[in-house]
Amino acid sequence: MITKEEIAHAYREIQDEICAGLELADGKGKFEEELWSREGGGGGRTRIIQNGNILEKGGVNFSAVEGKLPESIKKSFGVSEDDFFATGVSIVIHPNHPWIPIIHMNIRYFEMVSENAKELSWFGGGIDLTPHYVINEDARFFHQSLKATCDEFKDDFYSKFKKWADDYFFIKHRAETRGVGGIFYDRLNPESTGLGWEEIFEFSKAVGRTFLPIYTEIIERNKNKPYTKAHKQWQYQRRSRYVEFNLVYDAGTKFGLETNGRVESILMSLPPQANWVYDFTPQQGTEEEKTLDLLKKGINWI
């Protein structure tokens, strides 16, 4: 069985790789690092990039924390144990260009040890894309890349995890998806997957290493496209939906805040600016209307 130390070490390496690659893709912005400790145990490395050529605000965060679970989290997990360990990498990138999408990725490992020494452990994570303007070719490339990664490990991973993402990244009060989805999974262990711990760990790392080639390709495709003030205003409106999802529904945000996590690191997912326009209705036939029509569950992008 792999150890939690090995998992945390691999996640730190993935954080390093992604930060270096994003700096190269941006050409100007540099990550600033802040090391932090959690009062209950453990800590992490928060890395933030701001005001780059392309990346207006982004975070690539690593954490490895431990301690006692609060009652609210124990209830939501359906467990009675107290002691936990959690490690992972969490990424949100907000570009300054309306034709380049917001992207999110998270890979994580969680374990508890019960009073009878039984270990309760699992991997979770996912990656999803939130375009301000949906570009069909980019959405197809994104999903094809994720399917290729999933298919290396199990034939049904992509179909199961895509549906899970469609259901999870859904803004119920808006009746729309946050973006074009991706994959989302939780509580992966040998019992739930039929794979060994090593294979599940390799899958987790593969998802993490899928992020950089996908996003840098999408940046290159779109960074030189012209845009107008109206495009920027739409970008700010779409960012507002991202904010609504993260503050109302996102389980990671809730877990971080309720386990006394570092607030600045948790809320780095929020954009530097977002606008709420009252009762906005796009004109017929516009790119804005086309995008709203594609924010639905169950679209086959492949």
Provide the annotated active-site residues: 104
Distance CA 130, CA 88 (A): 21
Cα distances from 250 to residues 45, 60, 171, 181, 253, in angstroms, run 21, 17, 10, 14, 6
Taking residue 249's Cβ as centre, other Cβ atoms within 10 Å add up to 16
CA-CA distance, 259 to 276, in Å (whole number)? 30
Length, in residues, of the chain? 302
Neighbours of 264 (CB within 10 A): 13
Q: Quote the CA–CA distance of 187 and 124 in Å, as a whole number.
A: 6
